[in-house]
Structure 1
């Protein structure tokens, strides 16, 4: 902790004490708090990104492109893996202690009513972006969209919805159309929207919402091999790129196709890159250098905990935040294409009880010879014995012990895959990198 931020530990503790209130959706408290602080979000040039999966990756790509173009960026994402400060980044770096202290002090002490954990951090992010004088803020929706605290942005330069899949049905609704309508709540009059590949039911719901609000033009992303319609962004593997390559071809409406090397792993990142390019092309009307910055920005983008490889005790550990069936499907596809094969893969798996852990494990278990089942920190986790009923494995419980056992028994070239929960990945990543984590916040 820097000497310039003596009050930060107390503020972080006070912030963490708000987590037990859980998720309280709505915008009135946030608007009231921001008004008391001079509306730091007013006039902020912003990109707003929602989606079931992929929104963090898209935000990381857009931020990297904008920074490569010379813009001073602000990036607000959630959740964090190790430290609260990861959620607010200025110019590609985690917010400094003094700036975080000032922003949290405003959000926790100078507003008329107590905010929830996520609301307070959102308000703090807007204060930090104002104080830092960012040129562009990239905002990731926390949950849903319509009632998410980030949705106080009234006139984003561009919005994006990366994907729609089943998750948080108790809050967002039981059907894809219900979930899509909640996420479409970020669409704004006149603001262009970039849409990732969507199920027809979700696409129709979003299109109806866009027309109702008078949103700007919609640009959709599609896999090139699936054909496409006029006005779509087509993405696919570049040239003769073989399995495991991250060279991607992106062809936009009325633009020459570009071939880029993605910094993020996984075939699904081609679709995320298509969304990021769509957003960047919208921003290029204001900042022309963004067009030039696209290849370098996409190559430089990093997003920790997403198909992230770490060396650990002579073994390779792959960390992936897949925490629902849609995410597990993307991880399974990566293992099939780039992994070492089931005979040389160990799986350390733990999930929250309210997620589709059975379906996730059914996809991932056949792709590993050794399986270790753990209990992530936070709210109720999937029971270890229930995991064993889906696929045989060793119920260890403690993630650290399970990873250590998987590494110790790893043969040369074996890959240890840690997945199933963002909180699990954060815990293991902190331990492997020697990071002292902030308390776990499960919302």
Structure 2
């Protein structure tokens, strides 16, 4: 939770525009100008767009750059538990969430500069991030798009050092289009004239749209599967590009999809203009990387008391069908190595395709407990989710809350189980809060 002062300001900022999402650059360009154009005073920027894997790729980039001794600012969204997580400032211990008093002062400044004009919450808080990054020293800024790319508030940065596009799939169709080429073209809107763009392995139709955009801008494309490749071999991560093949440790983050995410980051740091990132820096970053709620196995905490001893608790904020396929694949691999009944506890926002998210778990899952995300009026009800799960062939029951979900799981289980809590980053944040501080906190 944010401090009471910053939380009050954030609540006011949410009322400045009638729509949650309204893609446009005009409002943030006006506000940025009123603030003295901080987006034009940033250190070299790595701009990241895509549908899946952005957060993990950014975590790898941060870890590798910091291993090289660089100071790194990081902007991501949404947050898990506290808004300050979105704006991480470089410091002696690596990038850390902005301090609450600094956040409150920053939000007050952008609120005054905006002077009550209509602007979305994401736009005005992105302006705050630009201001923070411009006024605090760093060597690199890693900037994640909020939605799409072409009309995303972060895209007022006109001259990034490097752009990245992670795997593209269907998500936010209401805003970005309902086909892969349309969505890829929106993501490719971050590509800038002459600026190299590192691209994950993509469906052909997505890559064609990205390459078309880059060709018009004469921007070099470094695409996975052609300019570079990354794969697991003999328990190691092998990365190969046009210059050499390097042997690296497997990434600390779990799941086969993390091989690709790590590969994107390696390709990026090896092509970041003006910096020399060594193989040892890359290896250290792969070992040191941390990104909560991405196939995170929960250690000791309050939630373990709610299930059988020796049960495993896993957490992931995935919320679209592609993420679900990666999650189901990772759970299937775990089942092959260490067999254990899989139970899901799922909470999702109602603008997500819950049926398609649940489908990959059919035949893999013993039981599903569904919950409404606390404090999110735009979330599916537990009943809605359980109905969709049953239509996918899953044994599912609605739960009153997280504690009831664990009780339902325990009533079905015959012994230790593997519980995966997933469906939303908002839900993941609530789970982390409950695990650390107890259920009463949510």
Q: Tell me the TM-score normalised to structure 2 length.
A: 0.89
Q: Tell me which residue corresponds to 2:331.
A: 335
DSSP-derived class of the 1:298 partner: helix
1:400-431 deviations in Å (ceiling 9; x for gaps): 42135436865654211111222222221221
Rounded to whole Å, the distance in 2 between the matches of 1:87 and 1:144 is 18
Q: 2:359 aligns with which of 362, 368, 371?
A: 362
Count of residue pairs the alignment pairs up: 421
How far has the Cα of 1:12 moved from its partner?
Answer: 3.1
Q: Paired residue for 1:24? A: 22
C-alpha distance after superposition, 1:156-181 (max 9, x if no partner): 11001011101111111121100000
1:78 match: secondary structure: coil
Is 2:193 aligned against 1:209?
A: no
**What 5-or-longer segments of structure 1 have no aligned partner?**
223-228, 242-246
1:385 positional shift: 2.5
Q: 1:143 to 1:412 in 2, by over 3 A?
A: same
Deviation at 1:387, TM superposition (A): 2.7
Is 1:263 aligned to residue 252 of structure 2?
A: yes
RMSD: 2.5
Q: Structure 2 vs 1, CA of residues 436 and 288 (structure 1 numbering), >3 Å: closer, same or farther?
A: farther
Asked if structure 1 preserves the Cα contact closer than 8 Å seen for 2:6 and 2:103, the reply is yes
Structure 1 residues 18, 418: closer, same or farther in 2, change over 3 A? farther
1:100-115 mapped onto 2 (5 Å cutoff): 100-112=103-115, 113-115=117-119
Secondary structure at 2:271 match in 1: helix
What does residue 385 of structure 1 align with? 387
Task: Please name the residue that 1:298 is paired with.
Answer: 286
Deviations 1:102-145 (A, max 9, x none): 22122222224242111111111111112221211101111000
User: Does 1:233 find its partner at 2:228?
Assistant: yes
Asked if the contact 1:344/1:411 (under 8 Å) is kept, the reply is: no
Superposed counterparts of 1:89-128, under 5 Å: 89-91=88-90, 92-112=95-115, 113-128=117-132
Q: CA deviation at 1:7?
A: 4.1
Match of 2:368 in 1: 371
1:310 equivalent in structure 2: 298
2:223 corresponds in structure 1 to: 220
**What's the secondary structure of 2:224's corresponding residue?**
strand
Alpha-carbon displacement from aligned partner over 1:31-76 (angstroms, at most 9, x marks no partner):
1111111111114210000001011111111111111111111110
Aligned residue runs from structure 1 range 182-201, under 5 A: 182-201=186-205
Where does the alignment leave 5 or more consecutive residues of structure 2 unmatched? none
Distance 1:19 1:416, change over 3 A: farther
The 5 Å alignment of 1:404-419 reads 405-406=408-409, 413-419=416-422
CA displacement, residues 250-288 of structure 1 (integer Å, 9 cap, x when unaligned): 1122133232231211110111111101110122x4122
Q: How many angstroms does 1:437 deviate by?
A: 12
Which whole-Å CA distance do the structure 2 matches of 1:55 and 1:437 have between them?
A: 32
Contact preservation (8 Å) 1:144, 1:172: yes
